[in-house]
Amino acid sequence: MSKRNIAILGSTGSIGTQALRVIEENPTLFKAVVLTAQSNADLLISQAIKYQPAYVVIGDTSKYNSVKSALSLYNIAVLSGLDALCDVVQLDEVDIVLTALVGSAGLKPTLAAITAGKDIALANKETLVVAGELVNAMAKKHGVKILPVDSEHSAIFQCLVGEENNPVEKIYITASGGPFRGKTSEYLSTVTKIDALKHPNWVMGAKITIDSATLMNKGLEVIEAKWLFDLDISQIDVIVHPQSIIHSIVQFEDGSMKAQMGLPDMKLPIQYALAYPERLKNDFPRFDFIKYPELTFEKPDTVTFRNLAFAFEALKVGGNMPCVINAANEVAVAEFLNNRLGFLQMSEVIENCMTKISFLNNPNLEDYLETDKETRVYARELVTNYKY
Ligand code: NAD
Ligand code: MG
C-alpha cells in the first residue's frame, strides 16, 4: 500500500481523535495533511503541533487569530470558515477525506471532495441521509469510492467483499437499543440529558449519543445503508443486539448469512476504511467468547421509539423527506442538550416538521439546502412555543 494523505474534517471529535490514533500507529502508511475543528481551538492547536499537517481549518472565525498565532512558528497554513473546508478537501496532496464532522454541515465539503476526485471515508452519515441520491450520482460521475466508517455499514461492506456478483436478499442492521432499551414512554417522559448521554457500549459525540438513545441513529443508518448499498427499503431490517458484538449481517439469495463481529471499537472500521482493501495488523483488544456467553436479539420498539419509524417512513416517501427529518432532528437534539426540550418532544418536533415542510419529489442541491434551512427555522419556532 502506498502512503495515503488524509484530510480529517472534524479531527477534534470522537471519530477524528480515534482516526488520529490509527494514523499515529501506522506512520509509514498514513499522514494527516488537513485537520479541522469547529470550535475546540485548543485541541486543534495541540493536534496540529503533534501531527504537523499542511493545513488546519477552524470553523469558528472568532478563533482564527488565536489558532494562527499559536501555530505561527510552524509551516502550517491556518484557514477559517465553511468555504475553507470546501477548499482544503480539494488540495492536490489529499488522497482521502475522512468526514468526521457532525450534521448536514458535512454535505458541501463532501461534495467538494468528490468533485475533486477524492475518495471519501464517510463517518458523517447525515450527508447521505440528506442527499444520498445526489452524493451517489456525483461519486459515480467522478469515479470516487465512498468507504463507510459507521460500524454497521463497515460490517456490511466487509461482508460484501468477494460477493460482487451475488445479489443481496436483505441486510440486518444491528442496534444496541441504547440506554433506554425496554423502557416505557412514561419513563422516557422523565429522562434527562445526563441519562441519555450514558450509552451502554460506545463513547461518542453528544449528538450521535442522543440519537442512539432515541433510536434516530438507527433510522439515519437505515437511510445511509440504502444509499451505500443500493437497496430497496424492503431489504433493510433492524435488529436489536444489546451486546454490540455483531456489527451487522448480510443475507444472500441462498439464505446464507454473513456477519462481521468484534468488540465495539470504532478504530477498526476507521482503519478498514483508510486502508481499504487491506487489513492492517494491530493490537486492538480481541473478542473473548467466554466473556460473552450470550449474544441476544430482539425486535426494536418503534411504538415507543418513534424516530426509527419516522426514518422508515421518510425513506418510503423519498424526495426531500429524509432531509426534513434530519434537520428537524438536529434542531431537536441541540435543544434537548440545551435543556429546552423533553426527550419525547424530540419526536414531536420531527413528526410536526414532516407534515408541515413543503414536499419536493426530485430535489437538487439548492432544494436540499433550502429544505434544511426551512426545516430548522420551523423546528426552532416549535421549540420556542413548547412549555418545557
Ligand atoms: P463529535 O461531536 O465528537 O465531533 C464532531 C467534530 O466535527 C468535531 O471535531 C467538531 O469540531 C466538528 N464539527 C462540529 N460541527 C461542525 C460544523 N458545523 N462544521 C464543521 N465542523 C464541525 O462527533 P462524532 O461522534 O465524532 O461524530 C462525527 C460523525 O461521525 C457524525 O456524523 C456521527 O454520526 C458519525 N459517527 C460517529 C460514531 C462515533 O463512534 N462517534 C460512530 C459512527 C458514526
Ligand atoms: Mg453506527
CATH (domain of 35): 3.40.50.720
- Domain assignment of residue 365, yes or no: yes
Q: Name the residue among 181, 210, 178, 206 with its Cα closest to residue 345.
A: 210
Range of the domain at 244: 151-263+290-317
Closest ligand 1 atom to Cα of 211? 34
Q: What is the pLDDT of residue 120?
A: 98
How far apart, in whole angstroms, are the C-alpha atoms of residue 300 and residue 215? 9
Q: Do 74 and 127 fall within a single domain?
A: yes
CATH (domain of 339): 1.10.1740.10
Model pLDDT for residues 234-259, shown as the tens digit of each residue: 999 999 999 999 999 999 999 999 99
How far apart, in whole angstroms, are the C-alpha atoms of residue 287 and residue 291? 8
Pocket probe for ligand 1: among 15, 17, 129, 244, the residue whose CB has the most ligand atoms within 8 Å is 15
Q: Do 251 and 162 fall within a single domain?
A: yes
Q: Do 192 and 228 fall within a single domain?
A: yes
- Domain assignment of residue 75, yes or no: yes
The alpha carbon of 387 and the centre of ligand 2 are apart by a number of angstroms equal to 33
Model pLDDT for residues 148-178, shown as the tens digit of each residue: 999 999 999 999 999 999 999 999 999 999 9
- Domain assignment of residue 218, yes or no: yes
pLDDT at 335 over 90: yes
Ligand nearest to the CA of 57: 1
Q: Do 361 and 375 fall within a single domain?
A: yes
Contacts of 228 (CB under 8 A, 6+ apart): 128, 146, 148, 153, 156, 157
Residue finishing a domain among 148, 166, 197: 148
pLDDT at 276 over 80: yes
- Domain assignment of residue 23, yes or no: yes
Residue finishing a domain among 148, 171, 193: 148
Q: Is residue 347 a contact partner of residue 306, using CB atoms and an 8 Å limit? A: yes
How far apart, in whole angstroms, are the C-alpha atoms of residue 94 and residue 53? 11
Q: What is the pLDDT of residue 1?
A: 87
Q: How far is CA 379 from CA 295, 347, 372, in A?
A: 39, 11, 10
Q: How far is CA 40 from CA 35, 85, 234, 271, 309, in A?
A: 12, 16, 42, 24, 35
pLDDT at 270 over 80: yes
Q: Do 87 and 129 fall within a single domain?
A: yes
How far apart, in whole angstroms, are the C-alpha atoms of residue 280 and residue 24? 13
Q: Do 166 and 232 fall within a single domain?
A: yes
Q: Do 210 and 307 fall within a single domain?
A: yes
Q: What is the pLDDT of residue 386?
A: 83
Q: Do 341 and 301 fall within a single domain?
A: no
Q: What is the pLDDT of residue 167?
A: 98
Q: Do 22 and 70 fall within a single domain?
A: yes
Average pLDDT of every residue of the chain:
97
Q: Do 333 and 215 fall within a single domain?
A: no
How far apart, in whole angstroms, are the C-alpha atoms of residue 265 and residue 204? 11
In our burial notation (b when 16+ CB lie closer than 10 A, e otherwise), range 107-126 reads: bbbbbbbbebebbbbbbbbb
Per DSSP, the three-state class of 119 is strand
pTM: 0.98
Cell of residue 191, nine digits: 429522562
Q: Do 170 and 208 fall within a single domain?
A: yes
- Domain assignment of residue 269, yes or no: no
Q: Do 182 and 247 fall within a single domain?
A: yes
Residue finishing a domain among 148, 174, 189: 148
Model pLDDT for residues 110-138, shown as the tens digit of each residue: 999 999 999 999 999 999 999 999 999 99
pLDDT at 205 over 80: yes
| Upstream peptide bond of 277 is cis (omega within 30 degrees of 0) | yes
The alpha carbon of 174 and the centre of ligand 2 are apart by a number of angstroms equal to 9
- Domain assignment of residue 164, yes or no: yes
Closest ligand 1 atom to Cα of 204? 41
- Domain assignment of residue 284, yes or no: no
Number of independent structural domains in the chain: 3
The alpha carbon of 221 and the centre of ligand 2 are apart by a number of angstroms equal to 7
What are the backbone dihedrals phi and psi of residue 314, each rounded to the nearest 5 degrees, phi first? -60, -40
- Domain assignment of residue 220, yes or no: yes
What are the backbone dihedrals phi and psi of residue 37, each rounded to the nearest 5 degrees, phi first? -145, 155
Contacts of 82 (CB under 8 A, 6+ apart): 59, 105, 108, 109
The alpha carbon of 151 and the centre of ligand 2 are apart by a number of angstroms equal to 5
Q: What is the pLDDT of residue 176?
A: 98
Contacts of 255 (CB under 8 A, 6+ apart): 169
Compute and round to an integer the Cα radius of gyration of the chain.
20
Cell of residue 378, nine digits: 420551523
Give the number of other CB atoms < 10 A from CB of residue 238: 24
Pocket probe for ligand 1: among 101, 125, 146, the residue whose CB has the most ligand atoms within 8 Å is 101
The alpha carbon of 93 and the centre of ligand 1 are apart by a number of angstroms equal to 24
